[in-house]
Structure 1
Amino acid sequence: MRIIAFLVLLIPGILSVYGIKLIRDSFFGIVESIFINVFVQLFAGILFVIVGIGFVGGYLLHRDRKKNKTKGHFETKK
């Protein structure tokens, strides 16, 4: 079961790392072959980083809420 959780977190992590690479390449003017220009590549890199970090953060927050480790900081009010 832990290997599945590891794989679920590995894919967004790789996506975030690739997004950081795209952002770095766009600052230096290196355009990947799948993108039209530098600005599209920069936008895609920022999007990949936000989605990847957001998924990993959401997963960890959901896990901590389930185990009651948030001490009420992130609880939803009813």
Structure 2
Amino acid sequence: MGRFLAFLVLLIPGIMAAYGIKLMRDTLFNKLLEPYPALWLQFILGTIFVVLGVGFFAGFLLNRDRKKGTVQKRFQK
């Protein structure tokens, strides 16, 4: 059960990052999606989604590795 919950916790930011990449790709091909009024806003929101999704995933992995003690000295608390 614990592994399933950890999978769900990582799945949501992963989907959010993938959606952000899709938004940025659609902006580069000048395809405006429905809820966004302008291309520049669509690109900025896509960038924010990617940064938040990847950042959460990286923080989760760093926290897990700190608990295991497998990080370098500069990343330890």
If the TM-score is normalised by the length of the shorter chain, which range does it land in? Answer: over 0.9
- Give 1 or 2: higher helix fraction: 2
Aligned length in residues: 76
Residue 71 of structure 1: CA displacement? 3.1
SS of the residue corresponding to residue 36 of structure 2 reads coil
CA RMSD of aligned residues (A): 0.7
When the two structures are superposed, what TM-score results if normalisation uses the length of structure 1? 0.94
The runs of at least 4 consecutive aligned structure 1 residues that moved more than 6 Å come to none
Which secondary structure state, in structure 2, belongs to the residue aligned with residue 58 of structure 1? Answer: helix
**TM-score, normalization by structure 2:** 0.95
* Secondary structure class of the residue paired with 1:43: helix
Deviation at 1:21, TM superposition (A): 0.3
Are residues 1:32 and 2:33 paired? Answer: yes
In the other structure, the counterpart of 2:50 is 49
Structure 2 distance, partners of 1:2, 1:59, is 14
Distance 1:73 1:64 in 2: 13
Shift of 1:56: 0.2
Q: Where do 5+ consecutive residues of structure 1 fail to align?
A: none
